[in-house]
Chain A
Amino acid sequence: MNNSEEASSGYSAAAEVGLKRKRRTRFERMRIGLGKAPLSAWFGMIVVSAYVIVALFAPLFAPFGEADIFPTPYAPWGGEHFFGTDQIGRDILTRMIYGARNTMGIALVTTFLSFLIGGTLGLVAAISRGWVDQLLSRFVDVLMAIPSLIFALMLLSIFGSTISSLIIIIAVLDSTRVFRLTRSVAVNVVVMDYVEAARLRGEKLGWIMRREILPNIMPPLIAEFGLRFSFVFLTIAALSFLGVGIQPPTADWGSMVRENASLIQFAKYDMKAAMTPLLPAAAIALLTVAVNFIVDWFLHQTSGLRDDG
């Protein structure tokens, strides 16, 4: 082509182009999306933000220290202890607030780690195909043939229930699910003509991964992050409830349910006390329901990508 110079010299309007263009920033698009969010999504977002604030500023909200022990075990609600005390005299409200920080923090770190492992390997498998893909996929198949809670129990019995082993074990087990999803979503993108076009252009593998594939698999991965987070959160709560997860004196909701469970028997005499073990259980349920609501809305949003222009 030889006319590019002539053509460009004849064209001077290019400078004005920036002014005429209506460019919506990511933020603006987000605001427009939020405006249309249904009630359930709003509910979810408010709940999650409240949890996050409580978790971040736990020491400010909590009336006492995380491991402070008071003389009266099983103190009733009200008075000095808003939600009473537990079996060895620790303030329930304080433990609830620190529990938010511990349980959510550990679940979040675990989910990130699981996405780092599963996401990277899934992407590698999808792009390289061939024997790498076969090897990784078969290995994951085998790991997934063992129910993850059972596998986690077994590994915890070997490595012991420290927080770091808890995080690593659950992250590795959960990364199998992330691997499967990332791989299957990415495989669908890898076969797209625009990826072939990039390869034909001579683009490097890294560029193709970052610019062509990753942006297109993000929405399902973000949604999956929400779901995996609730799943990991529930798994950790369940393990703690079973007494093999987060260990005392660290406060966490799962073990709080277990520690105070016997209070339910006294519902007829003191309804409030009977509610004590249900508080952390309800806190867990509320968070997972909230996350699910947000994910539901988000999936709906991104599947209707066409009309957000």
Chain B
Amino acid sequence: MHPVLSTVLKRVGLGIVTLVIVSAIIFSSVSLLPGDFGESVLGQAATEDTVAAFRKELGLDEPAITRYFNWLGAAVKGDFGTSFSGRSASGVDRSRSVASLVGPRLYNTLFLAGVTAIVAVPLALILGLTAALYRNSFYDRSINAVTLTTIATPEFFVAYILILLLSSLWPVFPSLANISEATPLLERLNKIALPALTLTLVIVAHMMRMTRAAIINLLSSPYIEMAQLKGATRSEIILKHALPNAWAPIATVVAFNLAFLVVGVVVVEVVFVYPGIGQLMVDAVTTRDIPVVQACALIFAATYIVLNLIADVIGIVSNPRLLHPR
């Protein structure tokens, strides 16, 4: 088997194993539930019967291994069980399935993250690349100072300043991103302008700095000096000598920051009351709606793992040592 293929397969295998272990951790968190949990969900007035029925529904009467594989099997099919909310002491169950809660919100979050990524990734790469090429120039130094400050600033601070400036004082964009399924695309874009802008600012700062560092590292390679001494022009050096070796570091930077974006979404969604999976998770945490929390955590973790996996695979596929073995 070609070493690239075998290395990629090994990496994918590792990713799957990680995912399975992570799912096991997320699942087993249920067994850490304090004993009186049934009562706190159903209320003080719950009878022993309803609590017992609830425990049975959670499957607490079955062995953990069985429960885990049942849960995992269902989760793979998109079934994350039933939400805790909407239950009452009387045993009346108005709860909804987790999947029906998560589904539309996942779409919204992906929409927000996607729009941000489309703007932020090229912007950050261009800024990082130019800052690296014109290192120590005024341009480089000022970008550096601005991004260092942005990185150290909490997302919600950036968000509220944008609201203050672009919504309260000069009402350009709405401060609430309360979209629904019926919202048309243009209005949707208008409504998510501020959350997307907040995320862009934060992500660009991180990604630009990392891109800059990666490019500077690359440009200090002896073979770049050699290319200079072979009379290559600046553009030849970048396109022919640096770029073919830049895919792996750039992929790592992009994946890392997209993963970062996925997490940053949580706070920003709450600030702008955006109906995404991040806000759903925070609400679920507040109400201790464990099945929803589990589903959200699994989705976030899976995204994170897959993004890193993709970056590593790009690194493997663009590595000449693996592409052309001895």
Which of A145, A230, A257 has a CB less than 8 Å from the CB of B18? Answer: A145
Q: CB distance B301 to A281 under 8 Å?
A: no
Stretch at the interface among B41-49, B93-101, B104-112, B154-162: B154-162
B206 → chain A closest CB, angstroms: 13
Known interface pairs A150-B297, A281-B160; A292-B282 also in contact (CB < 8 Å): no
B92 → chain A closest CB, angstroms: 24
Number of A-B contacts (CB under 8 A): 135
A264 to B168, CA, bound (A): 7
A282 to B304, CA, bound (A): 30
The answer to the question of B246 belonging to the interface, with a C-beta cut-off of 8 Å to chain A, is no
The answer to the question of A56 belonging to the interface, with a C-beta cut-off of 8 Å to chain B, is no
Q: CB distance B160 to A157 under 8 Å?
A: no
A281 to B160, CA, bound (A): 9
Q: Which of B155, B286, B289 has the most CB of A within 10 A?
A: B286
A281-300 to B contact mask, C-beta < 8 Å, 1/0: 11011001101100000000
A155-168 to B contact mask, C-beta < 8 Å, 1/0: 11111100000000
Q: CB distance B164 to A267 under 8 Å?
A: yes
B302 → chain A closest CB, angstroms: 9
Which of B29, B157, B284 has a CB less than 8 Å from the CB of A284? Answer: B157
Known interface pairs A141-B18, A230-B152, A238-B156; A146-B282 also in contact (CB < 8 Å): no
A22 to B71, CA, bound (A): 71
Which of B18, B156, B289 has a CB less than 8 Å from the CB of A241? Answer: B156
> Residue on B with the closest CB to A227?
B152
Q: CB distance B169 to A157 under 8 Å?
A: no
Q: CB distance B301 to A277 under 8 Å?
A: no
Stretch at the interface among B5-13, B19-27, B75-83: B19-27
Question: For residue A158, which residues in chain B have a CB less than 8 angstroms away from its CB?
Answer: 29-30, 32-33, 288, 290
The answer to the question of A52 belonging to the interface, with a C-beta cut-off of 8 Å to chain B, is no
The answer to the question of A130 belonging to the interface, with a C-beta cut-off of 8 Å to chain B, is no
Which of A155, A157, A242, A281 has a CB less than 8 Å from the CB of B266? Answer: A242
Q: CB distance A241 to B305 under 8 Å?
A: no
Question: For residue A278, which residues in chain B have a CB less than 8 angstroms away from its CB?
Answer: 157, 160-161, 164
A258 → chain B closest CB, angstroms: 8
The answer to the question of A221 belonging to the interface, with a C-beta cut-off of 8 Å to chain B, is no
Number of interface residues of A (CB under 8 A): 43
A145 to B266, CA, bound (A): 17
Q: CB distance A147 to B164 under 8 Å?
A: no
The answer to the question of B215 belonging to the interface, with a C-beta cut-off of 8 Å to chain A, is no
A228-266 to B contact mask, C-beta < 8 Å, 1/0: 001000100110011110000000000001000100111
Q: Which of A153, A159, A277, A278 has the most CB of B within 10 A?
A: A153
B interface SS class? helix
A230 to B297, CA, bound (A): 24
Known interface pairs A146-B304, A154-B293, A278-B161; A257-B282 also in contact (CB < 8 Å): no
B282-306 to A contact mask, C-beta < 8 Å, 1/0: 1011101110011011001100110
Q: CB distance A281 to B300 under 8 Å?
A: no
A278 → chain B closest CB, angstroms: 6
B110-131 to A contact mask, C-beta < 8 Å, 1/0: 0000000000000000000000
Question: For residue B155, which residues in chain A have a CB less than 8 angstroms away from its CB?
Answer: 238
Question: For residue A156, which residues in chain B have a CB less than 8 angstroms away from its CB?
Answer: 285
A146 to B271, CA, bound (A): 23
Known interface pairs A149-B263, A158-B29; A244-B286 also in contact (CB < 8 Å): yes
Q: CB distance A147 to B290 under 8 Å?
A: no
Known interface pairs A150-B300, A234-B154; A268-B263 also in contact (CB < 8 Å): no
A181-224 to B contact mask, C-beta < 8 Å, 1/0: 00000000000000000000000000000000000000000000
Q: CB distance A150 to B25 under 8 Å?
A: no
The answer to the question of A48 belonging to the interface, with a C-beta cut-off of 8 Å to chain B, is no
> Residue on A with the closest CB to B17?
A142
A146 to B286, CA, bound (A): 20
A36 → chain B closest CB, angstroms: 20
Q: CB distance A145 to B305 under 8 Å?
A: yes
Known interface pairs A145-B22, A150-B301; A282-B293 also in contact (CB < 8 Å): no
Q: CB distance A242 to B267 under 8 Å?
A: yes
The answer to the question of B219 belonging to the interface, with a C-beta cut-off of 8 Å to chain A, is no
Which of A155, A243, A288 has a CB less than 8 Å from the CB of B152? Answer: A288
Q: Which residues of B contact A (CB under 8 A)?
A: 18-19, 21-22, 25-26, 29-30, 32-33, 148-149, 151-157, 160-161, 163-164, 167-169, 175, 259, 262-263, 266-267, 270-271, 281-282, 284-286, 288-290, 293-294, 296-297, 300-301, 304-305, 308
What are 21 residue pairs bridging A and B, where the CB atoms are less than 8 Å apart in the complex?
A: A142-B21, A145-B22, A145-B304, A147-B300, A149-B263, A149-B266, A150-B300, A150-B301, A153-B281, A153-B282, A154-B29, A154-B293, A241-B156, A242-B266, A264-B167, A264-B175, A285-B149, A288-B152, A288-B154, A289-B148, A292-B152
Identify the 4 closest CB pairs spanning chains A and B, nearest first.
A267-B168, A281-B157, A288-B152, A157-B285
Given A153-B293, A241-B154, A268-B168, output 16 extra A-B contacts at Cβ < 8 Å. A142-B21, A142-B25, A145-B22, A146-B25, A146-B301, A150-B263, A150-B300, A157-B290, A158-B290, A159-B32, A238-B154, A238-B155, A241-B267, A267-B164, A284-B153, A288-B153
